[in-house]
Structure 1
Amino acid sequence: MPNKTSINVFYDAQCPLCRKERRRYERWSGQHAADIGWLDVSEHQQALREKGVDQDTALRSLHIETAQGQLIEGIDAYRLLMARIPLLVPVAWLIGLPGIKPGLRALYDGWVKRRLKKQGRWPS
């Protein structure tokens, strides 16, 4: 069951870099860290399925559930997460500029595919 926080971040806890990034976001969040719940996609498959997200889709992209129950994915999810962390608010703003998001999305999707293939976990 997802935590009752401002946002719940569904992330790949089997990914060493993803775990490292989580720790970094938690550290940078400071007093706001309690407002961000971190949920392993492998352990919360049912909650994701109830939102229409299967395991393969969850592995391919970051998903965030808002307190209102809305599910946001990909670069938009990263932007929402960064907007909750005072240090990263300027980055969230930058990501929102026209023309930036499509390029970042392509880079992110390519990185995830390479990472999962290297780990032998790319969904078929």
Structure 2
Amino acid sequence: MSNQPSTASHSVEVFYDCECPLCLREIKLLKWLDRKDRIQFTDIASADFNAAEYEKTPAQFTDEIHGRLPDGQWIIGVEVFRQLYSAVGFGLLVWPTRLPGISHALNFGYQVFAKNRLRLTGRCTAETCEVNKSALR
């Protein structure tokens, strides 16, 4: 594992959770579409993954999908998906997602999914989904 930016041969590095069934389905599709090896896939659920090596917390990686461009710039949320699908040759399908109304709707939808990802994929535990009632007071 390295916190160095992905090599120049990759257009984007994606940090994904292989323990999330929906996420894994998306990653499998992207791996299949990535015939030119443009995407570097990094599994945040891997035993040897260490968020601190990237100067981030585990919660940052699990709360929202993260990506990194070859120059080291971090991207999060819907922009990661734009970069991933552009990397596999779907750039013409990606550009409309940047239009103001569509972009706002996608960002909102992704935020709802990200906040509820564990619940939606049946992975809630007392540690991951319980609201800290003392924090609400």
TM-score by length of 1: 0.81
Please tell me whether the aligned partners of residues 82 and 94 of structure 2 are also in contact (alpha carbons under 8 angstroms): yes
In the alignment, what sits opposite 2:51?
A: 45
1:19-58, aligned counterparts within 5 Å? 19-30=24-35, 32=36, 34-42=37-45, 43-48=49-54, 50=55, 53-58=56-61
Taking every aligned residue pair, what percent have the same amino acid on both sides?
A: 25
Conserved in 1, the CA contact under 8 Å of 2:38 and 2:88?
A: no
* Deviation at residue 17 of structure 1 after TM alignment: 1.4
**Residues 1:17 and 2:22 aligned together:** yes
State the match for 2:111 in structure 1: 109
For 1:81, the equivalent position in structure 2 comes to: 84
**Conserved? CA contact 1:60–1:109, under 8 Å:** no
- In structure 2, C-alpha distance between the alignment counterparts of 1:74 and 1:113, rounded to whole Å: 12
Q: Which amino acid aligns with 1:37?
A: Q
**Structure-2 change in CA distance of 1:123 and 1:15 (3 Å):** farther
Give the C-alpha shift of residue 102 in structure 1: 1.5
* 2:66 and 2:80 in contact (8 A); partners too: yes
- 1:49-107: per-residue Cα shift (whole Å, max 9, x none)? x2xx3221211211111111111111111111111111x22221111112211211111
Work out which of the two has the higher radius of gyration on C-alpha atoms and give 1 or 2: 2
Residue deviations 1:14-40, cap 9 Å, x none? 10111111110111222x2x2211111
Distance 1:56 1:93, change over 3 A: same
Which residues of structure 2 form unaligned runs of 5+? Answer: 132-137
Q: Distance in 1 between matches of 2:129 and 2:58?
A: 11
Structure (1/2) with the larger helix percentage? 1
- Structure 1: tracts of 5 or more residues without a match: none
